[in-house]
Amino acid sequence: MKLDNTAKGVFPIAPTPFHADGRVDEASVDRMTDFYLECGSTGMTVLGVMGEAPKLDGTESLALAKQFIKRASSIPVVVGVTAPGFAAMQTLARASMDAGAAGVMIAPPNTLRTDDQIVGYYRQAVEAIGSDIPFVVQDFPQTFSVVMTPGVLRRIIEENSSCVMVKHEDWPGLEKISALRKFEKEGMRRVSILCGNGGMFLDFEVERGADGAMTGYAFPDMLVDIVKLTQAGERDKAHDLFDAHLPLLRYEQQQGTTGLAVRKYVMARRGIIASDAQRKPAGSISATAKAEVEYLLSRVARVDPRAKLSPV
Amino acid sequence: MKLDNTAKGVFPIAPTPFHADGRVDEASVDRMTDFYLECGSTGMTVLGVMGEAPKLDGTESLALAKQFIKRASSIPVVVGVTAPGFAAMQTLARASMDAGAAGVMIAPPNTLRTDDQIVGYYRQAVEAIGSDIPFVVQDFPQTFSVVMTPGVLRRIIEENSSCVMVKHEDWPGLEKISALRKFEKEGMRRVSILCGNGGMFLDFEVERGADGAMTGYAFPDMLVDIVKLTQAGERDKAHDLFDAHLPLLRYEQQQGTTGLAVRKYVMARRGIIASDAQRKPAGSISATAKAEVEYLLSRVARVDPRAKLSPV
Amino acid sequence: MKLDNTAKGVFPIAPTPFHADGRVDEASVDRMTDFYLECGSTGMTVLGVMGEAPKLDGTESLALAKQFIKRASSIPVVVGVTAPGFAAMQTLARASMDAGAAGVMIAPPNTLRTDDQIVGYYRQAVEAIGSDIPFVVQDFPQTFSVVMTPGVLRRIIEENSSCVMVKHEDWPGLEKISALRKFEKEGMRRVSILCGNGGMFLDFEVERGADGAMTGYAFPDMLVDIVKLTQAGERDKAHDLFDAHLPLLRYEQQQGTTGLAVRKYVMARRGIIASDAQRKPAGSISATAKAEVEYLLSRVARVDPRAKLSPV
Amino acid sequence: MKLDNTAKGVFPIAPTPFHADGRVDEASVDRMTDFYLECGSTGMTVLGVMGEAPKLDGTESLALAKQFIKRASSIPVVVGVTAPGFAAMQTLARASMDAGAAGVMIAPPNTLRTDDQIVGYYRQAVEAIGSDIPFVVQDFPQTFSVVMTPGVLRRIIEENSSCVMVKHEDWPGLEKISALRKFEKEGMRRVSILCGNGGMFLDFEVERGADGAMTGYAFPDMLVDIVKLTQAGERDKAHDLFDAHLPLLRYEQQQGTTGLAVRKYVMARRGIIASDAQRKPAGSISATAKAEVEYLLSRVARVDPRAKLSPV
C-alpha cells in the first residue's frame, strides 16, 4: 500500500504519548491508533514536528514508527523523515518503508532561501532516499521559515515523480490551493493536497480543492465529518459543525508547546491517550487554562455530543 | 488628555483609507473616526503597521495623525511612532503630542535579541522622545521577531514611568497576561493591557485581566460588547457573541496584506470607508475570497444584525 | 551627471560625522568630502546603513545629502533611499535628484523571501521613484537577510533599464561576480559592479571583473590604489599593498556599531573628521581596542606611510 | 582524561574526510589525526558543523567519533553532540564518553531567543546528558542565530559545574572575552576559552585572555605557533606570522560550503587528507578559485615554508 496522489480524507498527525517519566507509552500508541481507525481516518502521519519526533532518538523513532504501522495496518502511514542531513533521512526512510510505511514526509531546512535552493534540496533528498519512495512536501513557512511559491511547488512536483502530496500549511494559504489546482488544469501532474494548521481553515480549504486534512486537532472525527459533508455538497452543515468547534480548535492552535499541551490534555480527557505528558522541553497547561478548555468543551458539546466528557 | 494606566475598553487600530489611485481618502478618515466614536470606542490608535503607516511619507503621516486627532477629539488617540532611528521617532512623537495625541506606541526593531538589548532600546527611546510622553510597548513577536519575557516587560515598566500600557499580541499569550497581573500583585506598577491579534483570543484575554482590545477587526462594535459583557460578568453571553463572529474574525486574521484586504473589504461593505484600496505593495482579495467573506457575513448576521448588509 | 553602467573606481561610503552631543558636524562633512576628492575617489555614496542614515530624521537626511552633493560637485554622488515604504523612498529620491544626486541606492526589506518577491519589489520601487532615476541594487544578505541568486539579479537588471549598478556584498561572493560577468557575455546588459564588505575581498573581486569598491574602509586612498594597480595588471604590487592593510581592514570589519567605531576612530586620527562620535544607539571603542588599532596602524605604516600618524 | 577548565592551546575542528562517492575515508581520518598530533595540537574536536556532522547518520557519527578518539589517544577529544532533541543528544554523549571522549560540545537550537530560554536550554541539556560529562558551550550567533550576552554565559557557567569551556565565535567578540575574564576576577568560576571563526581574530583573542583556538584553518600548525608566541610575550613575531597567513585564512573564512571547500582543498594539497570531496549538499571550488588559493599559498610560503607545496 503505497501513498499516491489520490489520497484524501483525514490523516491525523499522531502525537507521541509519553508516560510522566518521559518513556514512550506504548499502550497509548495502540489505543490512539485504534481510535484513529474507528473514527474514519483514511491514513495517519507519524514522527511529525507536533509528534515530538525531534525529542526521540534514532532507535526510538524507528520503533515507534513500526508500532504505528503495524497497528494501523489497514490504512497508509506516512512517516516524517525530516533530518539535518540526507544520510539520516535515507536511513529512516528506508527502514520505515521496509517496515510497511506508505510514504514519507520531508520538510525543508530553515537555511533555504532562494527558489533554486528549495527545488535543489528536494532533488537531492530524492536522490538520497530513492525515487521509489512516495513523498510529501511539507509547506509550513511559519515554522520552517522557508517560503515556497506555487511556482516552486510546481517545479518540485514536475521534477520528482515520487512527489505525490503537498501538506499545505502556509498561512494565508487559500489562494495557494486555488493556484495549484489551476496549474493542474494547465497540465501539471495532480498531487493530493492535505491541509494542516490544526484545521483552522479546513472549512474553506476543502471548498478550494484540498483533498482533506493532515493535522492533529484533538477531534479528528470532526475533521472527518467536515471533509465528508463538504465533498457531499452539504456546505451549511459542514460550517455549522466546524463553527461549533472553532473556539476550541483556535484555542488548541497556539504555537509550540502550549498548543500541544492543550491537544494532549483533550486527548487524555477523551481517553485516547493515558496522559498529557510531554517529553522535555515540555509545555504545560495551567489550572486556569484547563478550566478554559473545559468551558470550551462544554460549549462544543451543545452541538457535538462527542465533546460531552465525564467531569474531571 | 494624556494616556495613562487606567485605559480600558477598545482602541481600534485605524486602517488608512486610500483612493484607488493611492491618495489618502480624507473623507473616509472622518467617516471612520465618527464610526469609531459612535460604536463606543474608548480610544483610537493610528499609524500602526496594519494602518499601512510605513507606506506613508513623513508629511503624510503627520497630516493623517492630525486629522484623526482633531476629529476624535473626545477620546485619546495613540500614534504609532516606530521608526528606524530615534531622530525620526522623536520628530514624529513631538509633533503628534503637539497636535493633541494622548500618547505614542513603540515597537522594537527586529535586530534586538537579548533581554538587555530590548530593555536598553526602550530606555534610549524614552531619552529620545522625552519622559513626559506616555508610551505603549508593542509586544508582537510574530511580526517583529523580538521576544519579550514577562520579566523583560517588567524591567521596561519599572525603568520608565512613562510606560503606561502594553499592547499585548504575543501568541500564545494568555499566560503572559496572568504573569503581568501577578507581578502587579507583587508590587509592580500597574499598566493597562490592551490586546491585539485581531481579537482572536479576546474572550479569554479579558477574563485573564486584560483591560480590553487594541486591534482592527472590522467589527469594533462587537469587540466593545465583548469587553463590556465580560467585565459585567456575563460570560456566556460574551462567548455567544464572540463565537458567532469567530469564523469571520479568524478569516480576517490572515497575515500580512491578505488579512488587511479582508478587513478593508468588510469595512467598505459596512460603509465605514469608501474603498478597500491598499497603497502598494498591496494585497488584494479574489472573487472567491469575496464570496467566502459574504458567506461568513451572512452566517454572522444570524446572531448579530450588524453583519446584515445590503447585497453587493 | 547621472550614474551609468560605466562607473568604476572607488565610491567611499561616507559616514555621518557627529559632534559629541549628537548634532551633525557640518565642518567635518566638508573636510571629509574634500579628502575623498583628493584621494582619487570617482564617486561617493551617502546615507548608507554604515552612514548611520537610519538615525537621521527626514529633514536632516536631505540636508546632509545636499551638503555632500554640493561639496563633491565634480564626482557623482549616490544617495541611499532605502525606506520602509515607497512614498518615503520616492520623496527622498526625487529631492536628492533635484539637488544634483547622480543616482540612488535601494536595499531590499528583510521580509522578502522568494525570487518573485525580490524582483517584484524592485519593479514597484522603480514605479514609485520613476524609471528616469538610475539606481543601484544593494545585495547584502548578511545585513538584510535577503538572498538574491545571480538569476534574480539578472531579472532585476533586465526588467529595469534604470538599474545601472550592483553594490555587491554577498559573502561569499567571488563566484557571483563571475556569474554576472558571464551573463553579460551571454547577452545581459552590462552593469557596473562595485564591492562592499569593507573591502575584505577587493583584491580578488577586481580580478574577477568588479569595477571597483563602494565601501567605507578608513583608507579609501588605499582602495583607490588597489583598483588602479589591479586594472594595470600589477597583481603582486596590488596584493602587497592590500595584504599590508588587511590586518587593520579585518579589524574594522567587525559587524555593527563596533566596526563603525573603529572606522570613525581611524578617520578622526587621520584628521578626516573631527570626532569619532556616533549618534545613539552608539557603539564605542574601549581603551584596549584603541591600543590594538594603534598597534595595527603602526604595522601598516611600515609599508604604507599614509598610516604613519602622529602619536595620540 | 576528562576535559577541564585548564584546557589551552589548539583543538583543531576536524573535517570529515570523504571519498568522491560520499563514503567516509577512514584512512584519511587516521592520517589527519596523526598530523594534528604531530603539529602540537593539545586536543581535537570532532562532529562539528564544519565537520559535516549533520550529513552523517547516527551509526556513522558514532563510528567516526570512536575512530578519532582511538587514534588521538594522547590528547583530549571533544565530540559535538548538538541534536534536535535531548534523547539523541544523550545517546551520542553517553556513547562518546564510553568510547573515551574527554567532553562534549553543545550548540543552542536556533529557536531560542530570550536569556531565560538559553539558560534553561543548557540546564535541561545537562539534566539529559548527566552532570558528570564536561561540556563546551558553543557561542556562534552568526550560524545559530542565538545571541548570548556575557551575563547569560555567566549564568550557564554558574548553574552548571560541568560547563568547563566556551567555544567563542561571536563576531565581534574581543570585548566578550575581556568581559568573561573580568567576571572571573569578580568571582566567577574560571572556564577555558577557545576561539573559532577560523582564527580570524586569534592574534588579539589570545592577548585578551583566550586560552587558544578551536577552529579548522588548514594550517593548525600556524595556530599552534601563534598561541605559543603570544603566550611567550613575542607579540611582534606572533603578528608577523599571523599576518602572513591572514590573506589565505580570510579566503578560507567564507561562509558555508565555500569556505569548507577551500579548507579541504588546502588540506588535500598538504597531504593531510586524500580528497577535498564533500558529502552532498556539497560546496565546490571553481578552477578560478583554485588558482586564487594557489596564488595565496605561494605568497604565504615566502614567510612560512609549510605553505610551500609541490606544484599541482
Model pLDDT for residues D238-293, shown as the tens digit of each residue: 999 999 999 999 999 998 889 999 999 999 999 999 999 999 999 889 999 999 99
Cell digits of residue C103: 543616482
Q: What is this model's ipTM?
A: 0.97
The overall longest dimension of chain D from CA atoms, in Å, is 54
D86 interfacial to chain A (CB closer than 8 Å): yes
C127 contact residues in B (CB cutoff 8 A): 280
User: Cα(C174)–Cα(D259) distance, rounded to whole angstroms?
Assistant: 12
Buried b (16+ CB within 10 A) or exposed e, B185-203: eeebebbbbbbbbbbbbbb
Give the torsion sign (CA, D248, D251, D255, D258): negative
Q: Do D289 and C174 touch (CB under 8 A)?
A: yes
Q: How far is C252 from chain D (nearest CA, A)?
A: 10
C90 contact residues in B (CB cutoff 8 A): 57
Residue A173 half-sphere exposure toward CB, CA atoms < 13 A: 29
Q: Do B84 and C84 touch (CB under 8 A)?
A: yes
Pick from C67, C40, C29, C16: nearest CA to C227: C40
User: Cα(A70)–Cα(A271) distance, rounded to whole angstroms?
Assistant: 21
Strand partners, A44: A77
D85 contact residues in A (CB cutoff 8 A): 52, 54-57, 279
User: Cα(A152)–Cα(A138) distance, rounded to whole angstroms?
Assistant: 13
Q: Mean pLDDT across the stretch C121-145?
A: 97
Residue A274 near residue A262 (C-beta atoms within 8 A): no
A54 interfacial to chain D (CB closer than 8 Å): yes
Residue A13 neighbours by CB under 8 Å, 6+ apart: A45, A48, A50, A51, A196, A214, A215, A216
Residue B142 near residue B172 (C-beta atoms within 8 A): no
D145 interfacial to chain A (CB closer than 8 Å): no
Q: Indicate the pLDDT class of residue C256, thresholds 50, 70 and 90.
A: confident
Which chain A residue is nearest to residue B293, measuring alpha carbons? A204
Locus of grid cell 584519511: D28
Q: How far is A116 from chain C (nearest CA, A)?
A: 8
Other Cβ atoms less than 10 A from the Cβ of B119: the count is: 21
Q: Indicate the pLDDT class of residue C312, thresholds 50, 70 and 90.
A: confident
Q: Do C246 and D243 touch (CB under 8 A)?
A: yes
**Per-residue model confidence (pLDDT) at position B51:** 85
What subunits make at least 3 CB pairs under 8 angstroms with B? Answer: A, C, D
B302 interfacial to chain A (CB closer than 8 Å): no
Cell digits of residue A289: 487554562
Phi and psi angles of residue D107, each rounded to the nearest 5 degrees, phi first = -100, 150
Residue A305 neighbours by CB under 8 Å, 6+ apart: none
**Per-residue model confidence (pLDDT) at position C91:** 96
B107 interfacial to chain C (CB closer than 8 Å): no
Q: Do D91 and A59 touch (CB under 8 A)?
A: yes
Q: Indicate the pLDDT class of residue B158, thresholds 50, 70 and 90.
A: very high
Answer whether residue A196 shows pLDDT above 90: yes
* Rounded mean pLDDT for each run of 10 residues along chain D, 312 residues in total: 96 97 97 98 94 92 97 98 94 97 97 96 98 98 95 98 98 97 98 97 98 98 98 98 98 92 98 96 94 98 97 86
Q: How far is CA A141 from CA A10, A138, D220, in A?
A: 22, 9, 41
Locus of grid cell 477629539: B73
Q: Indicate the pLDDT class of residue A312, thresholds 50, 70 and 90.
A: confident
Long-range CB pairs of B29-34, under 8 A, 24+ apart, other chains included: B29/B64, B29/B67, B29/B68, B29/B71, B30/B67, B30/B71, B31/B271, B31/B272, B31/B273, B31/B274, B32/B267, B32/B272, B32/B273, B33/B68, B33/B71, B33/B72, B34/B71
**Per-residue model confidence (pLDDT) at position A174:** 98
Residue D110 neighbours by CB under 8 Å, 6+ apart: A110, D144, D145, D146
Of the two residues B301 and B283, the one the predictor is more confident about is B301
Pick from C278, C283, C276: nearest CA to C312: C276
CATH of domain B9-232: 3.20.20.70
Q: Indicate the pLDDT class of residue C51, thresholds 50, 70 and 90.
A: confident
Mutation pick from D24, D55, D57, D60 vs chain A, by most beta carbons of A within 10 Å, is: D57
Pick from B231, B233, B310, B293: nearest CA to B258: B293
Residue A200 neighbours by CB under 8 Å, 6+ apart: A171, A249, A250, A253, B250
Pick from D165, D158, D211: nearest CA to D2: D165
User: Cα(D97)–Cα(D192) distance, rounded to whole angstroms?
Assistant: 20
Query: In sequence order, what DSSP letters do the residues of D68-121 get, joined into one string?
Result: HHHHTTTS-EEEE---SSHHHHHHHHHHHHHTT-SEEEEPPPTT--SHHHHHHH
Phi and psi angles of residue A104, each rounded to the nearest 5 degrees, phi first = -130, 160
Answer whether residue B256 shows pLDDT above 90: no
Phi and psi angles of residue A42, each rounded to the nearest 5 degrees, phi first = -100, 0
Number of CB pairs, chain A paired with chain D, less than 8 A apart = 65
Between the two ends of chain D, the Cα-to-Cα distance in Å is 41
Report the residue from D56, D88, D121 with minimal CB separation from A87.
Answer: D56
User: Cα(A116)–Cα(A99) distance, rounded to whole angstroms?
Assistant: 33
State yes or no: cis peptide before C134, omega within 30 of 0: no
Mutation pick from B57, B92, B279 vs chain C, by most beta carbons of C within 10 Å, is: B57
Answer whether residue B1 shows pLDDT above 90: no
DSSP state of D10: E
CA angle C69, C72, C75 (to 5 degrees): 100
Give the torsion sign (CA, B136, B140, B144, B145): positive
Q: How far is D186 from chain C (nearest CA, A)?
A: 19
Average pLDDT over all residues of chain A: 97
**Per-residue model confidence (pLDDT) at position A274:** 98
User: Cα(B183)–Cα(B157) distance, rounded to whole angstroms?
Assistant: 11
Residue C278 near residue C271 (C-beta atoms within 8 A): no
State yes or no: cis peptide before A141, omega within 30 of 0: no
* Per-residue pLDDT reduced to its tens digit, B9-48: 999 999 999 999 999 999 999 999 999 999 999 999 999 9
CA angle B195, B198, B203 (to 5 degrees): 60
User: Cα(C180)–Cα(C168) distance, rounded to whole angstroms?
Assistant: 11
**Per-residue model confidence (pLDDT) at position A283:** 87
User: Cα(D57)–Cα(D241) distance, rounded to whole angstroms?
Assistant: 39
Q: Mean pLDDT across the stretch B149-167?
A: 98
Residue B15 near residue B263 (C-beta atoms within 8 A): yes
**Per-residue model confidence (pLDDT) at position A175:** 97
Q: Mean pLDDT across the stretch C60-82?
A: 97
Q: Mean pLDDT across the stretch B251-266?
A: 94
Which chain D residue is nearest to residue A256, measuring alpha carbons? D111
Strand partners, D10: D213
Cell digits of residue A59: 532507535
Report the percent of chain D where pLDDT is more than 90: 95
Q: Do B152 and D114 touch (CB under 8 A)?
A: yes
| Chain mean position to CA B288 | 28
Q: Mean pLDDT across the stretch C157-181?
A: 97
Cell digits of residue D69: 578518539
B84 interfacial to chain C (CB closer than 8 Å): yes
**Per-residue model confidence (pLDDT) at position D312:** 82
Answer whether residue A50 shows pLDDT above 90: no
Q: How far is A26 from chain D (nearest CA, A)?
A: 17
- Which helix (H) or strand (E) covers residue A139, if one does? strand A135-139
Residue B48 near residue B105 (C-beta atoms within 8 A): yes
* Per-residue pLDDT reduced to its tens digit, B190-229: 999 999 999 999 999 999 999 999 999 999 999 999 999 9
Q: Is C104 helix (H, G, I), strand (E, B) or coil?
A: strand
Give the torsion sign (CA, A285, A289, A291, A295): negative
Q: Mean pLDDT across the stretch A192-215?
A: 98
C199: left (phi over 0), alpha (psi -120 to 50) or beta: left
- Determine the length of chain B: 312
User: Cα(C161)–Cα(C131) distance, rounded to whole angstroms?
Assistant: 8
B172 interfacial to chain A (CB closer than 8 Å): yes
Q: How far is D143 from chain A (nearest CA, A)?
A: 10
Q: Do C87 and B121 touch (CB under 8 A)?
A: no
User: Cα(B183)–Cα(B193) distance, rounded to whole angstroms?
Assistant: 13
Residue B236 buriedness (CB in 10 A; 0-12 / 13-18 / 19+): exposed
D255 interfacial to chain C (CB closer than 8 Å): yes
| Chain mean position to CA D307 | 21
Alpha-helical (H) ranges within chain D are 26-38, 58-71, 86-98, 115-129, 141-144, 150-159, 174-185, 202-207, 220-231, 235-252, 256-269, 287-301
Q: In chain C, what are the domain boundaries?
A: 9-232
